Amino acid sequence: MIAIEISSGVETVITPFVNYRFLWMGDHWKQEIVSRGGCQAIPRIWSVEHRPTYDDSENLGSPLYQRLKILEEQPGRAVAHLEGHSGPHAYSASYTFEERGEELVIDFDVTEKSHHSSQPITATYLIESSAGRLHCDLAATISWPHPESRLVFEVEPPAKVEANEAGMGTIRLKAVLVPDPSTDVHRFHYRMRWITSPGHQIWDRDV
């Protein structure tokens, strides 16, 4: 089951595998993913947001969101609606959380509007783990296998995924879209999938 918990400055989507937390930081919602039930196979993940004064195109962060509304659509499914802006960029997004058997799937649908479209659009996260555990399957997929749990990070073309060491035992993981200069509206999809089977080896399971 998926549940929603709201308290002062924190809104959480509670799933059987992880808690997806939205934390109010004074001017935007930061995102953090932590495991449930002490499952050490699932790494801690948190978002890295873009700041208007930070113009390094190699390390652009996630969109800034100032508005958030989370709805439970049906048992096992919830949607978070977000809107925000950063400098000349306006963002809107829907995060759909859904249980699918032994999987938790989070689909991210992001739209960016801007008159300054030369820089890539990114969604950036830090993962608390080592680079040696990354396994690249396809150009648009990076999986993070563990004997009892696998995290799969996917994007839909023309977006792509990038990963590199970020120091202090973390990996920087990004979904990246090079904008089409012929339009001011850009949309891209990516998803996170947790496949879990406590007590069982799933190294060879297809993703």
Number of structural domains (the chain) is 1
> Is there a domain that residue 13 lies in?
yes
> Is there a domain that residue 205 lies in?
no
* Residue 103 or residue 148, greater confidence: 103
> Is there a domain that residue 10 lies in?
yes
Cα distance between residue 199 and residue 101, in whole Å: 17
Looking at residues 109-131, what average pLDDT do you find? Answer: 82
> Is there a domain that residue 67 lies in?
yes
Task: Check pLDDT > 60 for residue 66.
Answer: yes
pTM of the model: 0.87
Count other C-beta atoms under 10 Å from residue 119's C-beta: 15
> Is there a domain that residue 144 lies in?
yes
CATH number, domain containing residue 157: 2.70.98.10
> Is there a domain that residue 178 lies in?
yes
Count other C-beta atoms under 10 Å from residue 189's C-beta: 15
> Is there a domain that residue 150 lies in?
yes
Mean pLDDT of the chain: 83
The reported pLDDT for the residue numbered 43 is 78
Could you tell me the residue range of the domain that residue 104 belongs to? 3-196
Task: Indicate the pairing of strand 45-47 with strand 170-177.
Answer: unpaired
What is the 3-class SS of the chain, one letter each residue? CCEEEEECCEEEEECCCEEEEEEECCCCEEEEEEECCCCCCCCCEEECECCCCCCCHHHCCECCCCEEEEEEEECCEEEEEEEEEECCEEEEEEEEEEEECCEEEEEEEEEEECCCCCCCEEEEEEEECCHHHCEEEECCEEEEECCCEEEEEEECCCCEEEEEEEECCEEEEEEEECCCCCCCEEEEEEEEEEEECCCCCCCCCCC
Q: What is the pLDDT of residues 27-65, one digit of tens each?
A: 999 999 998 765 556 778 999 987 655 444 445 678 999
> Is there a domain that residue 142 lies in?
yes
Percent of the chain with pLDDT over 70: 81
